[in-house]
Structure 1
């Protein structure tokens, strides 16, 4: 008689059910020629708690209160829309922190949330490019962009994300931000593709709704679900 670990059994059942669910979903993607990926939480792993811990180590008083002020004042959104420069961003953080934190300390703490792109996701993109045009659409900022671009070269040997996608689009360059419908229209126009032939994948349901308004098909990819398993049947 074999003893079965219940956790392993339930995990296997969950994976089977999830794969069956996404297989049925992907059956409705006939005519798809283009796949538009979100970046953070879909392609690259993130851990926001690391940045919170890093800023706390800088002895910022009432850190959560300061971050709430930054959110309410749209500091992060303005930075990711490219409406303020990195120096303006750092200066505003210094003002909120009430401490003379160096540029390096700010950048190091800010970049802590960015982890890595697992090799299996890079392999997924390379295989998908044999059948589809691939695009990247990310709400991001120049400090993070420079950090993960440098890591991509050091860890994986690619000069930039343009080596993995046919075209990349970032909010800080477009001066637009998901889920505004205008950012999806801009991507469709600049990429020279059709909405009805395109699939947009994001970990944020609200962002999917913005794309759906333009007739783009969508797929939700929550951070606890592996995208390379979701898209297994498209390879």
Structure 2
């Protein structure tokens, strides 16, 4: 067993608990080539840059004029559609993750959420998957707090708000820089792969389920 036994597990949302797929929201509504460009890693239309600003706490109405000016009316209209129909991008809960959260709770571990997400669209996650709200003991949302992973302040806020000891916490995220940010404040940050690998990582830290 580690010197400081794990008591709490913190989960990112998209890519860890929820399968977030922009294409699932846009397919069939807009031309295939435009959707493919938007979903590409080097998206020339900047969807994820604009969405990142929302995740940092800016309002859609503040950002939208920039989208129109920089991308034109057509792309701006697609971005508005995407935000208005955000629940369609939340394709499913990732396999095995609901069971993992339930197992952790059943064995007395605290389970928490920490996500980079807009304050205007986070409700879609809880509306579509109310199990998350029922199971998680609390969630910190970047767009609400105007703090953003991987900056240390949002991890420290999470620890302080929920009364957690960093050395006794595990944090799963699918983005390496966010894992590094957790590690820098003393949390056991782990790069998420899938539910089975997460269970194995927890077991290696002394978590028995």
Task: Please state which band the TM-score falls in when normalised by the shorter chain.
Answer: 0.7 to 0.9
* Counterpart mapping for 1:61-210 below 5 A: 64=38, 67-68=43-44, 70=46, 74-82=49-57, 84-95=58-69, 96-99=71-74, 101=77, 105-108=81-84, 110-118=86-94, 120-130=96-106, 131-153=108-130, 158=131, 161-210=132-181
TM-fit CA distance, 1:122 = 1.9
**What residue ranges of structure 1 are gaps of 5+ in the alignment?**
1-26
TM-fit CA distance, 1:168 = 0.4
**Do the aligned partners of 2:20 and 2:89 also contact (CA within 8 Å) in 1?**
yes
The residue that corresponds to 1:231 in the other structure is 199
Could you state the TM-score of these two structures normalised by the residue count of structure 2? 0.77
Aligned counterpart for 1:44 among listed residues 18, 36, 53 = 18
Alpha carbon RMSD of aligned pairs, Å?
A: 3.4
Judging changes above 3 Å, is the alpha-carbon distance between structure 1 residues 71 and 116 closer, same or farther for their aligned structure 2 residues?
A: closer
Deviations 1:140-180 (A, max 9, x none): 11343122222114xxxx4xx33111110111011011111
Could you state the TM-score of these two structures normalised by the residue count of structure 1? 0.69
CA distance in 2: counterparts of 1:54 and 1:177, whole angstroms: 33
CA distance in 1: counterparts of 2:127 and 2:33, whole angstroms: 28
3-state SS of paired residue (1:129): helix
CA distance in 1: counterparts of 2:72 and 2:103, whole angstroms: 45
TM-fit CA distance, 1:61 = 11
Aligned residues: 198
